[in-house]
């Protein structure tokens, strides 16, 4: 039987959730389509696939999406209660940081930039020559980095 969670605790609200069991934390992430569990272990926002549940859980722990906390009683300090925390803010932080990292390696040709900006090739060449639009040469071809293009667009607004 599938576990159902109310939409009020959807990860999009960037809440920190406390679960008494690690498995329940995975069910929460699975319910809201953040991870896919058996038979394919995936972190869906980045389309990452893992060989095992352990690899997926290690990814979640390493990124701070899931971590553990202990409550220690003042009266009985040797008795600890473990909680698994799902920090939904981290889901989107990881997605955003990886996306930015990948976009740093995305380059466009003069034709592609001209098409995106609705201008001609000579106009794009002029912007590059005037250093209005930052560009580099890769194998003799002029290429414009995605982030530089976005910076140019923002500066023109």
- 43-47, 87-91, 109-113, range with the lowest pLDDT: 43-47
Domain for residue 135, yes or no?
A: yes
The span from the CA of 22 to the CA of 45, in Å, is 20
Domain for residue 2, yes or no?
A: no
pLDDT digits (tens, 9 = 90+) for 28-76: 999 999 999 989 999 998 888 999 999 999 999 999 999 999 888 778 7
115 and 52 in one domain? no
| Residue 97: pLDDT band with limits 50, 70, 90 | confident
Tally of structural domains, the chain: 2
- 60-64, 81-85, 92-96, range with the lowest pLDDT: 92-96
The model's pTM: 0.61
Q: Which of 61, 76, 103 is the last residue of a domain?
A: 103
Query: By residue range, what is the domain housing residue 119?
Result: 107-156
15 and 89 in one domain? yes
79 and 56 in one domain? yes
């Amino acid at each position: 039987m599938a576990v159902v969670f109310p939409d009020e605790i959807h990860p999009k609200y960037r809440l920190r959730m406390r679960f008494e069991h690690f498995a329940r934390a995975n069910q929460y992430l699975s319910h809201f389509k953040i991870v896919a569990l058996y038979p394919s272990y995936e972190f869906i926002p980045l389309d990452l696939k893992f060989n095992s549940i352990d690899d997926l859980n290690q990814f979640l722990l390493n990124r701070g999406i899931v971590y553990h906390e202990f409550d220690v009683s003042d009266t009985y300090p040797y008795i600890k209660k473990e909680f698994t925390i799902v920090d939904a803010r981290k889901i989107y932080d990881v997605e955003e940081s990886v996306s930015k990292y990948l976009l740093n390696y995305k380059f466009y040709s003069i034709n592609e930039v001209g098409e995106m900006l609705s201008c001609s090739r000579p106009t794009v060449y002029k912007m590059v020559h005037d250093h209005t639009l930052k560009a580099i040469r890769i194998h003799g071809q002029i290429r414009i980095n995605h982030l530089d293009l976005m910076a140019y667009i923002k500066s023109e607004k």
